Amino acid sequence: MDKSHSPQKWFNLEELFFSEVDNRLLERLRGELETAQTAEQIMRVTGINDRALAEAMAKLHISVDTLAAFRLAPLVVVAWADDRIDSNERFVITRAAEKAGIQPDEPAMELLNAWTEKRPPKELFETWCDYAKALNESLTEVHRKSLRDEVLKQVREVAEAAGGFLRFGSISPSEKAVIERIEQVLQ
């Protein structure tokens, strides 16, 4: 009997196929469980009540350990507004992270470094905008103004670090557009 067509071989192939399907399903389920758990942690730490927002943050690999980096996402977005980040912008972002208490060996700094090396997905900025709106709603007017002033100061420092067009002028039109969007979100 030809062993290549034996029932045992077909059974083994079938078992292998279903094993791979089961493994992919298990991985997906683990991912969904991790996302849900991370979303719960984000909601607990930030006070955000919007589960969809917390899950969107978790899907972007934002965790309690990297929330500090997420808070600095607008700086990264402004830096990428001209489709590249230069060393001066990277330095300003790193300095802002250090001032925020993020240590070089922490996951938050690793994430910021990754975002300055490779452009993060567009969803990062959209999710940050949703986060900022939710945060704004929970703050007093004094705290809202303080947050707005701090974030706008930081994003302008990043934009000015690149020097604008041919290093003359301060902020490029694409950077200005991102900053205006941030201003709208933080009103």
- Each residue's pLDDT tens digit, 61-108: 888 777 888 889 999 999 999 999 999 999 999 999 999 888 999 998
| pLDDT value for 50 | 83
What is the C-alpha to C-alpha distance for residues 128 and 124, in angstroms, rounded to an integer? 6
Contact status, residue 115 vs residue 68, Cβ threshold 8 Å? no
Q: Can you tell me the mean pLDDT for 14-38?
A: 66
Residues 120-129: tens digit of each pLDDT: 999 999 999 9
Report the candidate in 25, 108, 95 with the shortest Cα–Cα distance to residue 61: 108
3, pLDDT greater than 60: no
Task: Give the pTM.
Answer: 0.72
Torsion of CA 49, 55, 57, 63, to 10 degrees: 90
The proportion of the chain whose per-residue pLDDT surpasses 70, expressed as a percent, equals: 79
Q: What is the DSSP letter of 168?
A: -
| pLDDT value for 19 | 60
Range of the domain at 51: 5-185
Lowest-confidence pick of 8-22, 102-116, 136-150? 8-22
The torsion region of residue 101 among left (phi > 0), alpha (psi -120 to 50) and beta comes to: left
The proportion of the chain whose per-residue pLDDT surpasses 90, expressed as a percent, equals: 41
The torsion region of residue 155 among left (phi > 0), alpha (psi -120 to 50) and beta comes to: alpha
Domain count, the chain: 1
**Better pLDDT: 58 or 76:** 76
Residues 142-155: tens digit of each pLDDT: 988 988 999 999 99
The torsion region of residue 153 among left (phi > 0), alpha (psi -120 to 50) and beta comes to: alpha
